[in-house]
Chain A
Amino acid sequence: MTAMPDAPSPASPAAPENTPATAVRARRNRRLVRKTLTYVVMTAAALLVLVPFAWMISSSLKRNNEVFTVPIQWIPDEFRWSNFVDIWDRIPMVTYLRNSAFLAITITFLQVLTGSFAAYGFSKVRFPGRDALFVAYIATIAVPWQAYMVPQYIMMQEAGLTNTFWSIILLQAFGAFGVFLMRQYYMSIPDELVEAARIDGLSEYSIYLRIMLPLSKPALASLALLTFVNTWNDYMGPFIYLTSNELWTVQLGLRSFIGQYSADYAMIMTGAVISVLPIVVIFLLGQRYFIRGIATTGLKG
């Protein structure tokens, strides 16, 4: 196959006997219909997908004994906006939000940094034993945490790190997930690019810093987003390791509404709605990086 820069666009299915003007109009109409249809279908799908979220919001505006009705009551008899005021008094929400933010930001930062760094070693440097080490790395993700939770806790206790943020940070910042994700994206960046840089005399570290990092912005963004969300929503880790109330995260705070025999689900849903907001903001911010062009500009050079 050869390049033919002046070839006509293949996307011209118009019948030859039509005059150009009517063909264009027909095509435009058809495109408009298709576009409208796409929007209708997509909006319907989006609304369906959001039904559980709607339940969450509706419950956050109810009295507790109205939450679980049979059948479901979608619109509360009376909107209790006061739930969103009360929750700040019922639990130290500000402290919890601050702790969650601190943990999520620190862990995300470290995970992205060490993950992308290690990924370069796993994808662009060849050395014996590399792939075996890599497979061992990712297979460990498959061990459920419940299986090694107790040995890990004993280790942390011996090190005197339980009931400090250190325990959670050290546990979650060096996961294999980020290494694996970044390695796969680096694999899709052609090796010649790296080689050319080597010939230009760049050290491996400057290749990572000046070429790989800028090229992998979409991947870095998705890794950061997913790590942030997972840390923010994590419950079992902080629950097992953080005992003092002033160290608790939002997810722990919400669970404190579940008592020995009954639970305050209106408050839980109120808190859940509040705790989703930061994630939505991060997601909207991260979207900027899901745009084509960043990667390709590098390839042209």
Chain B
Amino acid sequence: MRGRLGKGVVSAAALALVVSACGGDDGGGSGDSASSGDGEVTLSVSAWNMDTTPEFQALFDAFEEANPNITIEPVDILADDYDDKLTAMLAGGDETDVLTMKNVIGYSRYANRGQLMDISDLVESADTSNLAGLDAYDIDGSYHAMPYRQDFWLLYYNKALFDAAGLDYPENLTWDEYAQLAEQLTSGDGVHGTYHHTWRSVIQAISAAQTGGDQLGGDYSFFTDQYEMAVGLQDSGFALDFGTAVSQQADYRNMFETEATAMMPMGTWYISGILAATESGETEVDWGIAPMPQRPDSGEVVTFGSPTAFAVNENAEHADAARTFVEFAAGEQGATAIAEVGVVPALQTPEITDAYFALDGMPEDDLSRTAFEPDVVELEMPVSETTSDIDTILNEEHELIMVGDKSVEDGIATMGDRVNSEVR
């Protein structure tokens, strides 16, 4: 009898524990934190990795200071799989006011499903002449998001390795000169001349930007030169080969910070990463940035970039405050706030660039400054309903070319065949 009673008590206690623990934590949702009269508004904003992504906090603090009646409540989502969660939340009718658009492919999905509010009037009323990346959000003449951040690609290089090899820093390079440098900088003790990260954009997006090729078009012969250069470099050992990079999950930060590569094409987001690594003593690499290498006939510096934007949820509880926030983030004050934490804002003015180069540890040479002001920044991938499917195909065929399963010619031909047969 006692045994059974004891078991009963244990189960009852366990049940009580469940009830109390579950009941205790229902805060944090957007529903409960509604506005409480007098124009006081609690604005919910979806963001990722609040603890490790300082730009959000900087932006929120600046906004709250400028709008004392609005308090921001971040909805913290993991950067990894961010879009999976957002998809589920929006399907469930979530009322989070402002949604961060992590990339343009995700943006095109939500916008095409009608989950984002049309904010064309905001875009038209604002001064957008210096707002980079805005075109990416144009869907048939209407806008559903405004960029606040625009990263673009440039060439990182290790000054010490260039000095040791007695070479000039990489100014105004063509791709042929870049390949030659890679050969000269490769040394026996494990240092590669350059490192191409495994993303397809390293080869495809840059060649689309510089040749004017259309990645949604179905004819990919414009990739040829870039692939031949990249495959040539890895076959002769001047760049880490793709198979090893993928299977060892090679990390571009590791490659550059441990001086395993002398050059590396990469996005501007890495600037804040390398600044932080230097400050914490994780690396002592002496680095600089240069413009991306160009095609021989190019008269200007062309690169590609990917903007990040804020959008207003179609179901937003506080649509007006949300619009205010989106406009603020894309404007002068928002741009200054994020530039101060080392993030490249979408709004580009000389003042903001000055603020950016005033950061501790930034290289101060002219070349770096030039690198930061390319003539043309093309969009990494054009936005349309087919973007996402084509992205998948281009990525699969990219892998096959880079592991040597297909020749450059065959791989590019298959890309075209598959895009034409599977997507249309």
Say if A and B assemble together: yes
A residues engaging B (CB < 8 A)? 63-72, 90-91, 102, 106, 109, 113, 149-150, 153-154, 156-158, 162-166, 169, 209, 236, 239-240, 243-247, 252, 255-265
Residue B282 lies at the interface, judged by CB distance under 8 Å to chain A:
yes
- Choice from A63, A71, A265 contacting B282 with Cβ under 8 Å: A63
In the complex, given contacts A165-B25, A245-B76, A247-B28, what are 10 additional A-B residue pairs having Cβ atoms less than 8 angstroms apart?
A: A69-B254, A70-B250, A109-B14, A154-B92, A157-B92, A163-B26, A243-B28, A244-B28, A261-B267, A262-B273
CB contacts (< 8 Å) of A157 on chain B: these are 92-94
Residue B252 lies at the interface, judged by CB distance under 8 Å to chain A:
yes
Closest to A98 in B: B21
- Expressed in whole angstroms, the Cα–Cα distance for A150 and B18 within the complex equals 26
Take A150-B88, A261-B269 as given contacts and tell me if A164 and B22 are in contact as well, using a CB distance cutoff of 8 Å. yes
CB contacts (< 8 Å) of A70 on chain B: these are 240, 244-245, 248, 250, 260
Query: Which residues in chain B, 2-29, are within 8 Å of chain A measured between CB atoms?
Result: 4, 11, 14, 17-18, 21-22, 25-29
List 8 A-B pairs, Cβ < 8 Å.
A70-B250, A91-B51, A106-B18, A239-B84, A240-B88, A247-B25, A259-B49, A263-B251
Nearest 5 A/B pairs, CB to CB: A244-B28, A157-B92, A65-B257, A258-B80, A153-B88
- Expressed in whole angstroms, the Cα–Cα distance for A243 and B27 within the complex equals 10
A22 vs chain B, min Cβ distance (A): 56
Interface residues on B, range: 35 or more
Closest to A235 in B: B81
Take A157-B92, A245-B76, A256-B78 as given contacts and tell me if A162 and B29 are in contact as well, using a CB distance cutoff of 8 Å. yes
B residues engaging A (CB < 8 A)? 4, 11, 14, 17-18, 21-22, 25-29, 48-53, 75-81, 84-85, 87-89, 91-94, 102, 240, 244-245, 248-254, 257-258, 260, 267, 269-270, 273, 277, 282-283
- Expressed in whole angstroms, the Cα–Cα distance for A255 and B82 within the complex equals 11
- Expressed in whole angstroms, the Cα–Cα distance for A265 and B249 within the complex equals 11
CB contacts (< 8 Å) of A149 on chain B: these are 88
- Expressed in whole angstroms, the Cα–Cα distance for A153 and B92 within the complex equals 6
- Expressed in whole angstroms, the Cα–Cα distance for A12 and B92 within the complex equals 71
B92 touches A262 (CB 8 A): no
B25 touches A150 (CB 8 A): no
B25 touches A244 (CB 8 A): yes
Take A162-B92, A256-B78, A259-B79 as given contacts and tell me if A65 and B25 are in contact as well, using a CB distance cutoff of 8 Å. no
CB contacts (< 8 Å) of B92 on chain A: these are 153-154, 156-158, 162
Take A102-B21, A157-B92 as given contacts and tell me if A257 and B240 are in contact as well, using a CB distance cutoff of 8 Å. no
- Expressed in whole angstroms, the Cα–Cα distance for A168 and B273 within the complex equals 35
A163 touches B28 (CB 8 A): yes
- Expressed in whole angstroms, the Cα–Cα distance for A32 and B244 within the complex equals 46
- Expressed in whole angstroms, the Cα–Cα distance for A175 and B245 within the complex equals 40
- Expressed in whole angstroms, the Cα–Cα distance for A150 and B89 within the complex equals 9
CB contacts (< 8 Å) of B27 on chain A: these are 244
Take A102-B21, A239-B78 as given contacts and tell me if A150 and B251 are in contact as well, using a CB distance cutoff of 8 Å. no
A258 touches B28 (CB 8 A): no
B421 vs chain A, min Cβ distance (A): 26
CB contacts (< 8 Å) of B21 on chain A: these are 102, 106, 165
CB contacts (< 8 Å) of B28 on chain A: these are 163, 243-247
B29 touches A243 (CB 8 A): yes
Closest to A92 in B: B51
- Expressed in whole angstroms, the Cα–Cα distance for A65 and B92 within the complex equals 40
B317 vs chain A, min Cβ distance (A): 15
Take A65-B253, A65-B282, A239-B81 as given contacts and tell me if A261 and B270 are in contact as well, using a CB distance cutoff of 8 Å. yes
- Expressed in whole angstroms, the Cα–Cα distance for A261 and B266 within the complex equals 10
Take A150-B87, A162-B92, A246-B28 as given contacts and tell me if A169 and B78 are in contact as well, using a CB distance cutoff of 8 Å. no
B156 vs chain A, min Cβ distance (A): 13
Take A256-B49, A262-B253 as given contacts and tell me if A243 and B77 are in contact as well, using a CB distance cutoff of 8 Å. yes
- Choice from B78, B94, B277, B283 contacting A252 with Cβ under 8 Å: B78
CB contacts (< 8 Å) of A255 on chain B: these are 78, 80-81
- Expressed in whole angstroms, the Cα–Cα distance for A288 and B375 within the complex equals 71
- Choice from A113, A164, A260 contacting B48 with Cβ under 8 Å: A260
Closest to B247 in A: A70
A148 vs chain B, min Cβ distance (A): 11
CB contacts (< 8 Å) of B277 on chain A: these are 65
B88 touches A65 (CB 8 A): no
A262 touches B251 (CB 8 A): yes
Closest to B27 in A: A244
- Expressed in whole angstroms, the Cα–Cα distance for A150 and B85 within the complex equals 10
B263 vs chain A, min Cβ distance (A): 17
A273 vs chain B, min Cβ distance (A): 18
CB contacts (< 8 Å) of B52 on chain A: these are 256-257, 259, 264
- Expressed in whole angstroms, the Cα–Cα distance for A255 and B85 within the complex equals 14
A260 touches B269 (CB 8 A): yes
- Expressed in whole angstroms, the Cα–Cα distance for A157 and B29 within the complex equals 11
CB contacts (< 8 Å) of A259 on chain B: these are 48-49, 52-53, 79
CB contacts (< 8 Å) of B252 on chain A: these are 262
CB contacts (< 8 Å) of B85 on chain A: these are 239-240
Closest to B308 in A: A260
- Expressed in whole angstroms, the Cα–Cα distance for A256 and B51 within the complex equals 8
CB contacts (< 8 Å) of B88 on chain A: these are 149-150, 153, 240
A249 vs chain B, min Cβ distance (A): 12
- Expressed in whole angstroms, the Cα–Cα distance for A240 and B77 within the complex equals 9
- Expressed in whole angstroms, the Cα–Cα distance for A150 and B11 within the complex equals 33
B304 vs chain A, min Cβ distance (A): 15
